[in-house]
Amino acid sequence: MYDLTIFKDYDIRGVYPSQINGQIASAIAHAIVLVFRPSSIAICRDMRTSGDELFKGFSEAFLNLGVDVYDAGLCGTELSYFIAGTYDYDLVLMISASHNPPEYNGIKLTKRGAISVTSDSGLFDIRDALSNAPLSNAEKKGALISIDPYPAWKEKILSLVHLDNLKPLSVVVDAGNGMAGKLVPIIFNDLPFKVTGMYMELDGRFPNHIPNPLIKENTEELRKTVLQSNADVGMAFDGDADRMFLIDDKGRFVSGTITTAILSKYILKHHPGEMILYNVICGRVVPKVIAEYGGRSRRVRVGHSYIKQYMREENAIFAGEHSGHYFHRDFFFAESGVLTALMVLSLLSQEGKKLSEYVDELSIYPDSGEINFFVPDANAIIASMKEIFGKTADSVDEIDGVSVWYQTYWFNVRASKTEPLLRLNMEADTKEILEEKLSEVISAIEELGGKRKG
Active site residues: 98
Q: Which residues pair with 453 in a beta bridge?
A: none
Tally the residues of the chain: 454
Q: Quick check: 10 and 116 in contact, CB under 8 A?
A: yes
Q: Quick check: 445 and 422 in contact, CB under 8 A?
A: yes
- Rounded distance, CA 180 to CA 170, Å? 17
Q: Quick check: 433 and 354 in contact, CB under 8 A?
A: no
Percentage helix, strand, coil for the chain under 3-state DSSP, each rounded to 5 = 40, 25, 40
In three-state secondary structure terms, 365 is: coil
Instruction: Report CA torsion sign: 433, 436, 439, 444.
Output: negative
- Amino acid occupying residue 401: G
- Rounded distance, CA 423 to CA 266, Å? 30
In three-state secondary structure terms, 251 is: coil
Alpha helices in 274-354 (DSSP H): 285-292, 304-314, 337-351
Alpha-carbon Rg for the chain, nearest whole angstrom, is: 22
- Rounded distance, CA 249 to CA 348, Å? 12
Between the CA of residue 286 and those of 57, 149, 289, 400, what are the distances in Å? 45, 34, 5, 18
In three-state secondary structure terms, 197 is: strand
Q: Quick check: 300 and 308 in contact, CB under 8 A?
A: no
Strands 68-74 and 40-45: what pairing?
parallel
Q: Which residues pair with 290 in a beta bridge?
A: none
Q: Quick check: 12 and 28 in contact, CB under 8 A?
A: yes
